[in-house]
Structures are given as structure tokens and as C-alpha cells.
Amino acid sequence: MTKLIKELENEGRISEDEAYKLYDLDLFTLAKFAHKKRSTLHGKKVYFNINRHINPTNICADTCKFCAFSAHRKNPNPYLMSHGEIMAVVDEAVGRGIKEVHIVSAHNKDTSWQWYLGIFKMIKQKYPHLHIKAMTAAEIDFLKRRWKLSYEESIERMIEYGVDSMPGGGAEIFDEEIRAKICKGKVSSQNWLKIHELWHSKGRQSNATMLFGHIENKAHRIDHMLRLRALQDKTGGFNAFIPLVWQKDNSFLPIKQQADSEEILKTIAISRLVLDNVPHIKAYWATMGINLALVAQEFGANDLDGTIEKESIQSAGGAKSAKGLALNTFIELIQTAGLVPVERDSLYNEIKICAS
Ligand code: SF4
């Protein structure tokens, strides 16, 4: 442990061997080092954006055991939005001042690349300045298998039709054995990383997630972070790391308890320390609740995602995020926590510091 503490005190890179020991440290030791790193990078700033999540369909060809969002016997409400319905949502949200639309879908066999590209084109033509964050690596992989379009061609089309950045979904846990148990058949970890590498090679940016608190263990989480760190060393294309707390309701995993607050905060702190080359750590309030996400800002996180407006994926699993948060509430909560709310764009350029 002495070597690990020395590495932390030196504020240099934590070696791979020592990284696997981080969960053995107590929460407050981790918090001390993670908060120091967070403060050096971002001071008291807490970043957020004004965004709208849209999940155009929940009909899915895949059967991830952790998932409560897709239409299945525990959540029998299949839907597929038409382009007109999607545009109506975008119109309304733009009227309220969103700067980003975040579009992620289930893997619906009745959708095609044309269907996806039509959405992006329609939005970009009407709102050229609205940032489109869309297409997880898992969706790209699904469409490749279904429509035989290479990753390279897929990415070129996304860029041509107006996708500005990629979200970090579909990463789950990279460990192949765990992956085979929770999401067999979905994009492999190797291909998830390959797709993001390709996206970065086009000068584009993306985020990376990790789904934790289900059947994985702590070493799997560290392995996940180290694989991301290695790719980030090569490309520098990840903006934010987003640890997602697995939600237990309506899933097919035989687990009764979700990760508790200590486990969540430790994971946030460790991600800040291991991912020394990823600028932002997001406490995604949709999976951990806004209060804990605010506390996480003292444990290494510096971002809360955004107002979201409507959330369907995590709320299907029991998260209290279905309705999003009003902007003034969001800002007040950050200020009450003694922190400085900073509205950012999707690529972390600062738009406005919200003074109290
Ligand atoms: S996580 Fe995504 S790919 Fe897996 S079942 Fe749910 S919607 Fe489908």
C-alpha cells in the first residue's frame, strides 16, 4: 500500500499494478486525492449542458440481461417514433433553448441506416447549430452486422449527415467473460474501442461509459478504466468518463441490491485517479440521483450531464430521472452545494458561468 500512497502523493500516473489496489483504500483517502486532482483541473466548477435525450425506439434485437429499457415481458411497451414525432420533440426542445440533442436507440431490426441518417439530416437542416450527439458504438456495430456497412463507412456517413459527437454507451464492462454473461452478442469490447478509435481518427470526440454494480467485480472495473486509458493515450479523443450505476428494476440479473453510495463514490474517485488523461468525470445524475451526483463533485467528478428533460433508459430500471430537471433548479442545487455552475457546450467549451 505504501507504494500506492506514494504514487498518489506524487500526483503522477498510477501504475497498472497499483491501480488494482485502489479499492482497498478507504473512501476518504480516495476522496482526498481525487478531489485534489479535480480541483487542480477544474477548481469549483461543475459543468452541465442544456440538452434533450431522445430514444426513438425501444424495440431491440439484443437481449442484454441488465437492460430494463428494451420492450420485453417486464416492460411490454414497444414503440418506434416516426421522423415527424422526433422532429416535433426537437422543435419543442429547441424552443426551450437546448443546445444538444442526444439520440440513442435500441437495436430495432426494422430501422436502417437510412432511417438514422434521415433523422440527423432533418435536424441539421432545420437547426444547423444544434449539436447532435448520437450513435453508440453498439448501435454502429448492430447496423454493421445487419446492413453490412463497414465501421469506416458508417462513421463517414454519420459525419456527412450531421452527427457531431458520439455518446459513450454500449461499453458496459469490457471484461469478455462478464460481457458474455450480461450482453452476449452485442458489440465486443475490442470493437467498441476500435469504433471510438476510428471516430477519434476523424478528429471527432466522444465519451466513454462503464456500467457497474451488477455481476462484475472491482478488478473488472479497473481493467475497464485501464483499457480506456490506453486508448486515450493514443487518440486523446475522449472528453468524459461516465460511470453508470446499474439499475435493478425490471432487469434479468438475479441481483437484489444496487451499488450503495460508498461504492458509487469510491468508483467516481478511482476513475478520476486512474483516468488521468480524460479531462472530465461525469456523475450522471440520471443513474445515481441528483443529490449523490452533487456529493460526487467532492469525490473527483466535475460534471453532471445536463437537464436531460426526458429520460427513458435509466428510469425504466428504477432511476428517478424520467422527467429531467428544470434549469433553474439545476443551477440552484449546484450553487447551494457551494460550487460554481458552468453551462458548457457538448465539447466542454464554456458558454456561461452562472453567478449566484
Ligand atoms: S442495452 Fe441496448 S442493446 Fe441491450 S437490450 Fe437494452 S436496448 Fe437492447
Nearest CA to ligand 1 atom 1: 67
- Give the angle subtended at the CA of 340 by the CAs of 246 and 13, to the nearest 5°: 60
Nearest CA to ligand 1 atom 2: 106
Q: Which of 270, 193, 268, 269 is nearest to 238 (CA)?
A: 193
Output the nine-digit C-alpha cell for 45. 466548477
Per-residue pLDDT of the chain (356 residues; tens, 9 = 90+): 789 999 999 999 999 999 999 999 999 999 999 999 999 999 999 999 988 989 999 999 999 999 988 887 677 789 999 999 999 999 999 998 899 999 999 999 999 999 999 999 999 999 999 999 999 999 999 999 988 899 999 999 999 999 999 999 999 999 999 999 999 999 999 999 999 999 999 999 999 999 999 999 999 999 999 999 999 999 999 999 999 999 887 778 888 888 999 999 999 999 999 999 999 999 998 888 889 999 999 999 999 987 766 655 555 656 565 567 788 888 999 999 999 999 999 999 999 998 75
Residue 300's φ and ψ, nearest 5 degrees, are 115, -25
Rounded CA separation 117/113 (Å): 6
Mutation choice for ligand 1 from 53, 62, 182, 187, CB with most ligand atoms inside 8 A: 62
Mutation choice for ligand 1 from 66, 69, 314, CB with most ligand atoms inside 8 A: 69
Tell me how far the alpha carbon of residue 107 lies from the centroid of ligand 1, in angstroms: 7
Nearest CA to ligand 1 atom 7: 106
Place of cell 444538444: 100
Tell me the whole-structure pTM to 2 decimals: 0.94
Binding pocket residue ranges, ligand 1, CB within 6 Å: 60, 62-64, 67, 69-70, 106-107, 138, 183, 186
Tell me how far the alpha carbon of residue 273 lies from the centroid of ligand 1, in angstroms: 30
State the pLDDT at residue 319.
Answer: 59
Find the farthest-apart pair of alpha carbons in the chain and give their distance in angstroms, rounded: 60
Tell me how far the alpha carbon of residue 139 lies from the centroid of ligand 1, in angstroms: 9
State the pLDDT at residue 320.
Answer: 60
Output the nine-digit C-alpha cell for 143. 447496423
Tell me how far the alpha carbon of residue 143 lies from the centroid of ligand 1, in angstroms: 14
Tell me how far the alpha carbon of residue 170 lies from the centroid of ligand 1, in angstroms: 8
Q: Which of 259, 333, 266 is nearest to 294 (CA)?
A: 333
Rounded CA separation 158/166 (Å): 10
Amino acid at 133: K
Output the nine-digit C-alpha cell for 272. 478520476
Residue 345's φ and ψ, nearest 5 degrees, are -90, -175
Tell me how far the alpha carbon of residue 141 lies from the centroid of ligand 1, in angstroms: 13
SS (H, E, C) the chain: CHHHHHHHHHCCCCCHHHHCCHHHCCHHHHHHHHHHHHHHHHCCEEEEECEEEECCECCCCCCCCCCCCCCECCECCCCECCHHHHHHHHHHHHHCCCCEEEECCCCCCCCCHHHHHHHHHHHHHHCCCCEEEECCHHHHHHHHHHHCCCHHHHHHHHHHHCCCEECCCCCCCCCHHHHHHHHCCCCCHHHHHHHHHHHHHCCCCEEEEEEECCCCCHHHHHHHHHHHHHHHHHHCCEEEEEEEECCCCCCCCCCCCCCCHHHHHHHHHHHHHHCCCCCEEECCHHHHCHHHHHHHHHCCCCEEEECCCCCCHHHHCCCCCCCCCCHHHHHHHHHHCCCEEEEECCCCCEEEECCC
Mutation choice for ligand 1 from 64, 143, 287, CB with most ligand atoms inside 8 A: 64
Residue 165's φ and ψ, nearest 5 degrees, are -150, 160
The CB-side HSE value for 194 (13 A sphere, CA atoms) comes to: 12
Q: Ligand 1: which atom is nearest the Cα of residue 186? A: 3
Tell me how far the alpha carbon of residue 183 lies from the centroid of ligand 1, in angstroms: 8
What are the beta bridge partners of residue 49? 306
Mutation choice for ligand 1 from 183, 187, 191, 312, CB with most ligand atoms inside 8 A: 183
Rounded CA separation 133/129 (Å): 12
Tell me how far the alpha carbon of residue 179 lies from the centroid of ligand 1, in angstroms: 13
Tell me how far the alpha carbon of residue 64 lies from the centroid of ligand 1, in angstroms: 5
Mutation choice for ligand 1 from 59, 66, 70, 79, CB with most ligand atoms inside 8 A: 70
